[in-house]
Amino acid sequence: MSLKDQITEDMKTAMRAKDSERLGTIRLLQAAMKQKEVDERITLDDVAVVAIVDKLIKQRKDSITAFEGAGRQDLADKEKAEMAVLQAYLPARMSAEEVTAAVQAIVAELGAAGPGDMGKVMGVVKTRLAGKADMGQVSGAVKAALAG
């Protein structure tokens, strides 16, 4: 079963269970997926769905930071609940050690040296580690590998 089908099934389950918070988050995800399909006239595969989920989670993290800074814990808690639902659709994340090892292997493979090659390395890293690792963590590992 594809990730897209799994999301549709989870929506039906949430509807039957009358789980309004979960249902709202899944509908939000489906709307984002449909928007991408319509805009680009494509059918999403699992990699594209994971990219959309990643983007939505990043938006939630930014919102949580803003809400907590403004003293709106109620809204921050709502965003955290949505983020928890969305994270269920991500594949298992790589550990920090695995990310560092993968980045070092790619840097060696490309023969990259120095901060000037960061763009070249990040291009390859993004395609190989998309959905498997937090891109903020990956960026830090690339900077460290190129600085050393």
Q: Which domain holds residue 11?
A: 3-87
Determine if residue 19 is left, alpha or beta; phi over 0 gives left, psi from -120 to 50 gives alpha, anything else beta: beta
**Predicted confidence (pLDDT) per residue in 90-133, tens digit:** 887 777 778 788 888 887 777 767 677 777 777 777 777 776 77
Mean pLDDT of all residues in 77-82: 94
Residue 16 burial by CB count (10 A; 0-12/13-18/19+): exposed, middle or buried?
exposed
Share of the chain above pLDDT 70, in %: 96
Number of structural domains (the chain) is 2
Mean pLDDT of all residues in 28-42: 94
Is this model's pTM higher than 0.75 or not? no
Last residue of a domain, one of 87, 120, 138: 87
Q: With cut-offs at 50, 70 and 90, classify the pLDDT of residue 21.
A: very high
- Same domain? For 133 and 78 the reply is no
- H-only helix segments in 17-134: 20-40, 46-69, 73-87, 96-110, 118-129
